[in-house]
A and B are shown apart, each in its own frame.
Chain A
Amino acid sequence: MTATTAPEAALGVLPRADGSARYSHAGYTVTASVNGPIEAQRRDEHPYEAHVDVIVRPAAGVGGTRERHLESLLQSSLSQLILVKNFPRCLIQIVLQIEDSPENDYANTKLVQASLNFGIMPALFQTSVLALLSAAVPMRATATATAVAIVLQDGTRKKVIDPSPREIEAAKSVHVLAFTSRDELLLAESEGDFTVREWDEVCEIAERVCCRSTVTKEGIEMMLDDEVADGPDTRHFLRSAVEDKVAADLHWK
């Protein structure tokens, strides 16, 4: 399996959930279901806003602290996007089921305790945003995320977008950044050793991946020439996935 495959997405894949999406990119495949707003349990109920519940389920083995960590990251950034104040005492439940993740062919994995890392975060993030859109949950903006790793290669530090498990293992530091559709930084998490300058460079790269604008000129979408494909154009991809779904659903019109 190559890591440079184009992203794929399908919306509304599960018949019984309010909204669902399946997204696969760079070897990761994630299915998400969104139910909401539904009745919250007493312990989760908040008098002024909706509670956003994110559950990450690994493909094999039981989830541990790493999954809880990713859940809390997703939960805090997604509750920034969702208009939680509109649904007091409610629950918006997002379940992310990992179906496939690229394996490191050079090591035998321990599987009973699943341990996820930052490499999967972009896939989890994009899937949950797509599922929320599919469930028609009101949101302030959409958002896209990307992972960047700094790998030491031949004495120079190279930055890799969407790193493979092997690259993450060898990386000096791994960063996950998410940007909203208004180019605001939503999430910035880092792991490992890095300098402030390196982080600035990583941020710049991530911004280029997430916020690459397709400039609209007189109704024609044009790509900027100087930003030739490094990494997928996630925001545009998200948009076209939803557009396709809407077009298919309103076909009868």
Chain B
Amino acid sequence: MPREAEPSLSEKQFVLQALQENLRLDGREFDQYRPLELTFGDQYGVADVTLGKTRVLAKASAEVTVPYADRPLDGIFTIATELSPMTAPSFEVNRPTETEVLLSRLLEKTIRRSGALDTESLCLVAGQKCWSVRVDVHVLSHGGNLIDAACLAVVASLRHFRKPDTSIEGGVLTVYTPAEREPVPLSWLHSPFCVTWSFFGEEGEIAVLDATWLEEQVRVASCTISLNRHGEICQIAKLGGTPVEAVALLQCTSVALTKAKEFSALVDRKLAEDLKRRDKGGLMAELKAENDR
């Protein structure tokens, strides 16, 4: 596979000098995201996020399996991130690159380990049957800031997803098909979002949000902050060799909180719109089997 073409020296200089003069190549502010679009598919659990030239599709699915022997009371939750040559021809099938490893690790830390999905609620019969929820992240096009877009797509798809309804009567487990009973949503605890800062300059003094692919190739360090709209930080990953001042990082975190609130509001709004679109004739409330809390 051909290697990805690196930007030329003059191209790098141009980007850096522009940043030093407080300018970005696409005319954005330093703390401004590219236009963000979120759409849901016809099926439950399909979310398509477009962030400038970056496009990520996430699809959630569930099936009944046997739980792990050491965790009999927990369901299984996996996030699969495999970058295909569709992203860029330099990616190969079945050979993970650094980008892919970083992406899957950050998503793992942000969504899985922060306990966003209650895995105990996925247990059906202790030690014997549980739900296995799987999210497939498909990166259709990589235009920079893959992590934020992928995280948003995964969170949106899981919140949109509905798993088949089940019931246990006299020790007999029944899984109802979508034709028999309306599927039920997952037990979702909080929605974490990733906000990635990129640092430029000798001492990393210029901090920029939502870097494009070109900017990502020029940056000296990056910092991914994962937090939910209540300001609870799930993880901070500071990558790249150049050290960044602690005060600057504190500032970055406070901006990240406002961005996380924006993302949260966007996902809530889009989910409500989608619900309205599906709820034709207002029959959804009657189809629901679950009780209001």
The answer to whether B41 touches A108, judged by C-beta atoms less than 8 angstroms apart, is no
Among the stretches A109-117, A189-197, A219-227, the one at the interface with B is: A109-117
* B88 lies within 8 A of chain A by Cβ: yes
Among the stretches A52-60, A122-130, A172-180, the one at the interface with B is: A52-60
Contacts of A142 in B (CB 8 A): none
Contacts of B179 in A (CB 8 A): 105-106
* B289 lies within 8 A of chain A by Cβ: no
Partner of A95, one of B1, B86, B177: B86
The answer to whether A108 touches B55, judged by C-beta atoms less than 8 angstroms apart, is no
The answer to whether A111 touches B62, judged by C-beta atoms less than 8 angstroms apart, is yes
* B63 lies within 8 A of chain A by Cβ: yes
Given A31-B140, A61-B134, A108-B177, decide whether A55 and B93 contact each other with a Cβ distance below 8 A: yes
The answer to whether A16 touches B142, judged by C-beta atoms less than 8 angstroms apart, is yes
Task: Report the separation of the CA atoms of residues A38 and B5 in the bound assembly, to the nearest whole angstrom.
Answer: 13
The answer to whether A99 touches B57, judged by C-beta atoms less than 8 angstroms apart, is yes
Partner of A15, one of B41, B65, B143: B143
The answer to whether A59 touches B136, judged by C-beta atoms less than 8 angstroms apart, is yes
The answer to whether B134 touches A112, judged by C-beta atoms less than 8 angstroms apart, is yes
Partner of B177, one of A61, A99, A107, A110: A107
- B interface bracket (residues with beta carbon within 8 Å of A): 35 or more
Contacts of B136 in A (CB 8 A): 59-61
* B229 lies within 8 A of chain A by Cβ: no
* B84 lies within 8 A of chain A by Cβ: yes
Contacts of A100 in B (CB 8 A): 41-43, 46
Task: Name the residue of chain A whose CB is nearest to the CB of B178.
Answer: A105
Task: Report the separation of the CA atoms of residues A220 and B46 in the bound assembly, to the nearest whole angstrom.
Answer: 43
Task: Name the residue of chain B whose CB is nearest to the CB of A110.
Answer: B63
Contacts of A95 in B (CB 8 A): 84-86
The answer to whether B42 touches A16, judged by C-beta atoms less than 8 angstroms apart, is no
Given A16-B141, A105-B178, A111-B61, decide whether A97 and B86 contact each other with a Cβ distance below 8 A: yes
How many A-B residue pairs have C-beta atoms within 8 angstroms? Tell me. 92
Contacts of B88 in A (CB 8 A): 16
The answer to whether A108 touches B164, judged by C-beta atoms less than 8 angstroms apart, is yes
Task: Report the separation of the CA atoms of residues A62 and B175 in the bound assembly, to the nearest whole angstrom.
Answer: 23
The answer to whether A16 touches B134, judged by C-beta atoms less than 8 angstroms apart, is no
* A14 lies within 8 A of chain B by Cβ: yes
Task: Report the separation of the CA atoms of residues A16 and B83 in the bound assembly, to the nearest whole angstrom.
Answer: 14
Minimum CB–CB distance for A48 against chain B, Å: 21
Task: Name the residue of chain A whose CB is nearest to the CB of B176.
Answer: A108
Q: Which of B80-100 contact A (CB under 8 A)?
A: 80, 84-89, 93
Task: Name the residue of chain B whose CB is nearest to the CB of A104.
Answer: B177
Minimum CB–CB distance for A252 against chain B, Å: 22
The answer to whether A15 touches B141, judged by C-beta atoms less than 8 angstroms apart, is yes
Contacts of B177 in A (CB 8 A): 105-108
Contacts of A109 in B (CB 8 A): 63
Task: Report the separation of the CA atoms of residues A35 and B132 in the bound assembly, to the nearest whole angstrom.
Answer: 35
Contacts of B59 in A (CB 8 A): 59-60, 99
Contacts of A61 in B (CB 8 A): 61, 134, 136
Minimum CB–CB distance for B18 against chain A, Å: 21
* B190 lies within 8 A of chain A by Cβ: no
Task: Name the residue of chain B whose CB is nearest to the CB of A113.
Answer: B63
* B238 lies within 8 A of chain A by Cβ: no
Minimum CB–CB distance for A59 against chain B, Å: 5
Interface 1/0s, chain B 70-82, versus A by CB < 8 A?
0000000000100
Task: Report the separation of the CA atoms of residues A1 and B141 in the bound assembly, to the nearest whole angstrom.
Answer: 28
Q: Which of B1-25 contact A (CB under 8 A)?
A: 1-2
Partner of A97, one of B42, B62, B84, B89: B84
Task: Report the separation of the CA atoms of residues A112 and B93 in the bound assembly, to the nearest whole angstrom.
Answer: 18
The answer to whether A17 touches B41, judged by C-beta atoms less than 8 angstroms apart, is no
* B109 lies within 8 A of chain A by Cβ: no
Task: Report the separation of the CA atoms of residues A61 and B141 in the bound assembly, to the nearest whole angstrom.
Answer: 20
* B112 lies within 8 A of chain A by Cβ: no
Task: Report the separation of the CA atoms of residues A245 and B266 in the bound assembly, to the nearest whole angstrom.
Answer: 32
* A146 lies within 8 A of chain B by Cβ: no
Contacts of A17 in B (CB 8 A): 86, 141
The answer to whether A1 touches B42, judged by C-beta atoms less than 8 angstroms apart, is yes
* A134 lies within 8 A of chain B by Cβ: no
Contacts of A62 in B (CB 8 A): 80
The answer to whether A103 touches B178, judged by C-beta atoms less than 8 angstroms apart, is yes
Contacts of B164 in A (CB 8 A): 108
Task: Report the separation of the CA atoms of residues A59 and B140 in the bound assembly, to the nearest whole angstrom.
Answer: 12
* B138 lies within 8 A of chain A by Cβ: yes
Known: A62-B80, A97-B57. 8 other contacts (CB 8 A): A14-B140, A16-B142, A17-B86, A39-B1, A55-B84, A97-B138, A106-B177, A108-B175
Contact surface of A with B, Cβ cutoff 8 Å = 1, 14-17, 29, 31, 33, 35, 38-39, 41, 55, 57, 59-62, 93, 95, 97, 99-100, 103, 105-112
Give the top 4 A-B pairs by smallest Cβ distance, nearest first. Answer: A95-B86, A60-B61, A111-B61, A105-B179
